[in-house]
Structure 1
Amino acid sequence: MTVDRLTLPDRQPALRVVPMPADLNQNGDVFGGWVMAQVDVAGAIPAMRRARGRVATVSVNSFLFKQPVSVGDIVSLFAEIVRVGNTSVTVRVEVFAERNYAHPVVVKVTEAELTYVAIDDHGGKRTLPAQ
């Protein structure tokens, strides 16, 4: 498999994290579920900002694992709003791993699109505030 030489996007990540040994599956790679959880957290950040309050994940529209994540990778998650409805916000999340400190390389490991719904204090849907 060839690895494209990439650089990180020229913007701030929504989240940056380093997986630990407890995050590994039986094959020595980071659990896909761990990556999915980080994507959900990263995607919720711009959704909460746009909603000016609580949101709940309502759907995972797409999720593509492109490369495995390893212990020690610096995982950067970049999130941007791609669609806004009356009560919902759809966010695209791209995940990159910086690895091999001696000869650094950046690889895109995951991309996803999730939809969040704005919720009130009782967990019910609410209309998004005007921008």
Structure 2
Amino acid sequence: MLEPRGELMLRTLAMPADTNPNGDIFGGWLMSQMDIAGGIAGKQRSFSRVSTVAVESMSFHQPVKVGEVVCCYAELMHVGTTSMRIKLEVWKMNMPLNQTRSKVTEGIFTYVAIDENGRPIPVDRTEKS
């Protein structure tokens, strides 16, 4: 597959402060970017706050280097009563050298729609706040 699946939710630049001891971007930093992107997608779908409750799977395909542009794409896979499963893909671009993209990692995250007290609420409520 040469093209990302889903909607672009987040684009950022990999910086030196985000590296592991090998000089590559730390996997935990990538996971946090995915969580932010998934949270944005979940919030857009539920019109409410969301909380991450699970990361089903995650696969790393290639490292990210400092200076590469990191793009997170989200695809809604399933909507339950209070939860949403969202597939997230991270792609990188080495700019300004070229505009080619390559997949870095992917994973499935589950989010729950919550109210102002942190309690689960239906994703598809009749009233949107």
Shift in Å at residue 99 of structure 1? 1.2
Is 1:108–2:103 an aligned residue pair?
yes
Partner Cα separation in structure 1 for residue 60 and residue 5 of structure 2 = 22
Partner Cα separation in structure 1 for residue 5 and residue 60 of structure 2 = 22
The number of aligned residues is 126
When the two structures are superposed, what TM-score results if normalisation uses the length of structure 2?
0.89
Shift in Å at residue 49 of structure 1? 1.2
**CA shift digits 1:27-55 (9 cap, x unpaired):** 00001000000000011111111111100
Q: Hey, what does 1:92 align to over in structure 2?
A: 87
58, 61, 71: which is aligned to 2:56? Answer: 61
Runs of 4+ in 1 over 4 A off after TM superposition: none
When the two structures are superposed, what TM-score results if normalisation uses the length of structure 1?
0.88
Partner Cα separation in structure 2 for residue 60 and residue 10 of structure 1 = 18
Are the structure 2 counterparts of residues 94 and 11 from structure 1 closer, same or farther at C-alpha, using a change threshold of 3 Å? Answer: closer
Partner Cα separation in structure 2 for residue 63 and residue 57 of structure 1 = 15
Shift in Å at residue 101 of structure 1? 2.8
21, 25, 31: which is aligned to 1:30? Answer: 25
Secondary structure (helix, strand or coil) at the match of 2:8 reads: coil
Shift in Å at residue 100 of structure 1? 5.3
Q: Hey, what does 1:44 align to over in structure 2?
A: 39
Mapped contact 2:7–2:75 kept (Cα < 8 A)? no
Mapped contact 2:91–2:102 kept (Cα < 8 A)? yes
| Gap runs ≥5 in structure 1 | none
Q: What is the CA RMSD across the aligned residues, in angstroms?
A: 1.9
Partner Cα separation in structure 1 for residue 53 and residue 13 of structure 2 = 27
Q: Percent identity?
A: 44
